[in-house]
Amino acid sequence: MYAKLSLIFLLSIFSSLAIATDLRLATTTSTKGSGLLNVLVPAFEKDSGYKLKVFSVGTGTALRLGRQGKVDVLLVHAPTAEKKFISDDYGVLRTAVMENDFIVVGPENDPAKIHATKDVSSAFIKIQSSQSLFVSRADDSGTHKKEMSIWNAGKIQPYGDWYYEMGAGMGAALQTANNQSAYILIDRGTWLAKRDKTNLVVHVEGDPLLLNPYHVIAINPKKYPKTKFTAAKSFINWITNIKGQTIINQLKVNNEKLFTGLKK
């Protein structure tokens, strides 16, 4: 009986230790949809000994999880919202990780006549004025926030039968755009990973407004003392230094980079 109780006691200790090493990461659907997490997560777990529990959601939801203290670290791509998160004392150690860009894709017949337009605000105005179908993620993600900033730049409030609000992730929104022969704003990483499954083509790219930077942020331990701050710092250090940056820079689809790390 004593041996049995001792075994149960030891197992409970080991179970507690395993839970203690979990690191909760809230990140965007684009890091999952692009395939980046499939490479980053096992590499970090192997190098660090931590077990990553990943919540792949829109950036808005990721930031809300951070505000509620339900995660330990964020990897997101909405600079204005991130800075507000920091100024409200919910996050610390905000550090640049990587970048890519957004593009506008749509049907090959291009009903809005936006192909090769370099000014994305002008392209959005043409989409709205021609009432061409446009699919919005409408999920408070980093992509949705970027989309809304472009509509605002053109002084347009998008609504009507031509404007379809999904309330869904990038993969589902892209599939809907493909099925409906609609335009959509998408991050390049997800596009490169999924374009072969669509009939859509790239119409707008290269506008500086479409730059898409990603940052990593630790949850403020003074706000939430029970978060795993040491583990979060370990993840930040790993992803912003040579091992993590090498993985980011080497990830390609058909010899095209999905993201550019900030350390070459």
Q: Determine the structural domain holding residue 8 and report its residue range.
A: 2-100+213-261
Helix ranges restricted to H, 140-209 = 142-153, 170-180, 188-194
- 71 & 125 share domain: no
CATH number for the domain that contains residue 172: 3.40.190.10
- 206 & 236 share domain: no
Q: What is the pLDDT of residue 263?
A: 61
Residues 6+ apart with CB under 8 A from 69: 219, 223, 224, 226, 227
Residues 6+ apart with CB under 8 A from 7: none
Q: What is the pLDDT of residue 14?
A: 37
- 58 & 29 share domain: yes
- 107 & 93 share domain: no
- 43 & 76 share domain: yes
| SS3 at position 130 | coil
- As for how many domains the chain has, the answer is 2
- 96 & 107 share domain: no
- Rounded CA-CA distance 36/99 in Å is 13
Q: What is the pLDDT of residue 173?
A: 94
Q: What is the pLDDT of residue 182?
A: 98
- 179 & 237 share domain: no
In the listed set 210, 230, 253, which residue is the last one of a domain according to the structure? Answer: 210
* pLDDT tens readout for residues 136-183: 999 988 899 999 999 999 899 999 999 999 998 888 999 999 999 999
Residue spans of the chain under pLDDT 70 = 1-21, 263-264
- Rounded CA-CA distance 186/173 in Å is 9
Q: What is the pLDDT of residue 15?
A: 40
Q: Are 141 and 29 in contact (CB under 8 A)?
A: yes
- Rounded to two decimals, what is the model's pTM? 0.83
